[in-house]
Structure 1
Amino acid sequence: MLCSSARIRKLINSSPKQFLSISKRTLFSFVQIPPISHPITTGVVSSSINQPNSTSTSTKPLFLGFRSDHSMASQSSNPQSIHDFTVKDARGNDVELSKYKGKVLIIVNVASQCGLTNSNYTELAQLYEKYKGQGLEILAFPCNQFGAQEPGTNEEIVEFACTRFKAEYPIFDKVDVNGSNAAPVYKYLKSSKGGLFGDSIKWNFAKFLVDKDGNVVDRYAPTTSPLSIEKDVKKLLGVA
């Protein structure tokens, strides 16, 4: 049970040295620390205590370096490119997109039960097979926001894509691409290249083309077939 503020003041005034020598465990039983939503790399909480028989005050540190875990995928405060983002893979591990520096990227929101699934997965696999050795990477983000057509677990989604369509490119954690809970990387993609009728993703298999420096250079509708953008991919790859 927490002590009252009056009891703490009495302890400070009667014996400040005794108060400062209390163990951290005892101290935290006196003072309730609010939850911390962001990690703190360094920090000092100080207390100025009036010393008896003295007109000056003394500042004493109470604790240092209080940290909280930060397990969510993140982004820099002012992202300049796709390479500034960290996302989750299908197993929940962090993946820094900076690992794709020097690669041309197709970033696409995928679904397993859509009318566009067969054609898109088939042609994405064809593009990847043809150009992966020349610097193309495809980043697939499952999304269940359109007709609830991606209801499975990450494991089921990966198994479906890899078994049925031989998808060898990375498939990431299921995300939202629209709304307040949209993944930060998708907020950035949409702000970089708005759609014909607004920024929102309209359906499964919307595609973003990203150059080797992480800049979003083009955006394609869900109904645009992957093979139809091959010429744009080749241009960024520098392939004749």
Structure 2
Amino acid sequence: MKKLVTLFSVAALFFSCQNQAQKKQTTTQTAITTPMAKETIYQFKVEDLSGDTFDFSTLKGKKILVVNTASECGLTPQYEQLQAIYEKYKDKNFVIVGFPANNFGAQEPGSNAEIATFCQQNYGVSFPMMAKISVKGGDMHPVYQFLTQKAKNGLEDSEVQWNFQKYLINENGELAKVVSPRTLPTDAEIVNWIEGK
């Protein structure tokens, strides 16, 4: 009888330990599979070239192409293609938001007023252009911290390689894709994304 009680106690202890291990495993699996909380671009308010407040939350439901620009870069002619795709898709829930930045080769030396004049006179830019910011380094603007840090955007870490790097934001304000500065705005990679192909 004593042996039976001991055997029963050992069995109960075994099942109890096994149950605890399963609970622990389930908890661990839940922690691993729970997706990282994503921030969205809608939290940001920035200043545009005219000094007015631009609120990203007004773009809810639209696809957004965010691009860092410069007036004296070999890639500056991309303004022309940016304007072309903006014209083509602006009535189809698509918008481009440009951020002039002087982080690469001092290729955006002008003031906000000078940048506005340059964009309008040379390329007829009509998509929203923001005030000049920094897109890398210690003084990186919070919008670009969101765009480049996986901990904030939930997709990937990236670094702005040069002027005219593109960040594609989906209709929910989430980062969807990072596109190289040398990829033209009219490239199939971008156009297919805009058209949902």
Normalising by structure 2, we get a TM-score of 0.75
Q: Which residue number in structure 2 is paired with residue 137 of structure 1? A: 95
- Map of 2:121 onto structure 1: 163
| One-letter amino acid of the counterpart of residue 125, structure 1 | Q
Q: Within 2, Cα distance between the matches of 1:161 and 1:188? A: 26
How far has the Cα of 1:194 moved from its partner?
A: 4.0
Q: Is the 8 A contact 2:38 2:174 kept in 1?
A: no
User: Residue 161 of structure 1: SS of its match in structure 2?
Assistant: helix
Q: How do 1:75-86 residues align onto structure 2 when only pairs under 5 Å count?
A: 80-86=39-45
| Structure 2 spans left out of the alignment, 5+ residues | 1-36
Q: 1:58-82: per-residue Cα shift (whole Å, max 9, x none)?
A: xxxxxxxxxxxxxxxxxxxx97200
**Take 1:194 and 1:111, find their aligned partners in 2: how far apart are those partners?**
25
In the comparison of the two structures, how many residue pairs are matched? 155
Equivalent position of 1:230 in the other structure = 191
CA contact (8 A) 2:68 2:100 kept: yes
| 1:80-229 matches, cutoff 5 A | 80-118=39-77, 120-191=78-149, 192=153, 193-194=155-156, 199-228=158-187, 229=190
Give the root-mean-square deviation of aligned CA atoms: 1.5
Residue 165 and residue 81 in structure 1: after superposition, are their counterparts in 2 closer, same or farther (change >3 A)?
A: same
Higher-Rg structure is 1
Q: Which runs of 5+ in 1 are unaligned?
A: 1-77
Aligned CA distance change for structure 1 residues 163 and 79 (closer, same or farther; 3 Å): farther
Aligned-partner SS, 2:186: helix
Question: Higher helix fraction: Structure 1 or Structure 2?
Answer: 2
Residue 93 of structure 1: how far off its partner (Å): 2.4
Q: Give deviations 1:146-196, integer Å, cap 9, x for gaps.
A: 00000001111111111211111011010000012111010000113546x
Higher relative contact order (CA 8 A, sep 6+): 2
